[in-house]
Amino acid sequence: MPHAHPLVAAALLVCLYSTPALAAGPMALSAAQEKAMGIALAPAKPASGAPLAALPGSITPPLNDRRVVAAPFAGTVTRIHVLEGQSVKAGAPLVTLFSREALSVSSELLQSQAELRVAEAAASRLQQLAREGVIAGARAEEAQARLAQARAMVNERRRLLSGPGGTSGEYVLRAPAAGRVAAVTAQPGGGLEAMAPAVTLDRADRLWVEARVSPEIVRKLKVGDRVRVGDISGRIVALGASIDPKTRSLPLRAELDTAAGLAPGQTVTVTVLSPAPTGAQAIPRSALAQDGTGARVFVKTAAGYEARSVTVVGAAGAEAVVTGLSPGARVATSGASQLKSALGH
């Protein structure tokens, strides 16, 4: 906010301080006086959590939400269908490969399909004979078991070939679930060993944040307490039990309510929160004026500015949570020292 010339501001302050009535109650200021004193206002907002600390952290995928898609057998990469950071749906093609093993599996699939047709015909015929009492029911049951085995063999070989193209030696790796591509290991024209990772997927709608916390703060926290990264809330899912001898800290992991605007590997500031008492209000930390007698803020009312004593529940980073204010109360976030002098506090 722009400030008036120092001489003008000084003259206004002298005028304010020379009026004894101002210290006895709310002090009314004109817009010009507010500008000269550099006053800025912000509303108090209801708070459910009190900040304990603001910590450096990093965004990571949830431990069990990362899926590594591997090739079922060795081959040469013929096409990459996705890029890092791209969102994909379940079943979407990721990588196409050519493999002699795929040709072999294709031949085995054709043979298994022929065996399945034979098993289906035999099972149907024996089932009919068993119903007519011509043969024992056990023979029909054995035929059903052979049919189930033949069907399982066909399904397994179809799964390995992952859709069309298997008869030509090509097979397609597909996304097992919807997510975001975290890494592409396969390269066009390059070889890929059997069971080697080709693509890594993360769930697109969930992220964690990890941070290191001092033992003093950990003692005040529990699993389920809230955290905040910018405007995104989350909850603690794990607190470490062993202190790192180098950093003298413990790991904290929290699951965020949304992944919007965040990406794995991103460095962020994590605010850890403890439950706040009923009626607690969040205000900018710069609004607090503290001395040996306690904490106060300067509130603008219809009658003017007045000092209000508050109890600080928690403060970290740029935020403080206090009791003693009404929701929506407009507090001075700058110019507090001038107001303090003018009101005689």
The residue assigned the tokens 């093993």 is: 101
* Residues 203 and 180: beta-carbon distance below 8 Å: yes
What are the backbone angles phi and psi of residue 164, rounded to the nearest 5°?
-65, 155
Query: Domains in the chain, start-ordered, CATH in brackets?
Result: 6-48+277-343 (2.40.420.20), 53-64+206-275 (2.40.30.170), 66-202 (2.40.50.100)
- pLDDT for position 150: 86
| Amino acid, single-letter form, for residue 224 | G
| DSSP three-state, residue 302 | coil
Tokens of 29: 């200021």
Whether pTM > 0.75 for this model: the answer is no
At 301-310, the pLDDT tens digits run 998 999 999 9
- 343: nearest Cα among 283, 292, 303, 286: 303
- pLDDT for position 102: 65
pLDDT < 50: residue spans in the chain: 1-23, 163-166
Q: How far is CA 190 from CA 78, 82, 164, 187, 344, in A?
A: 8, 16, 22, 5, 77
Tokens of 279: 């009626």
- pLDDT for position 18: 39
- pLDDT for position 211: 96
Count of helices and strands (H, E) across the chain: 6, 22
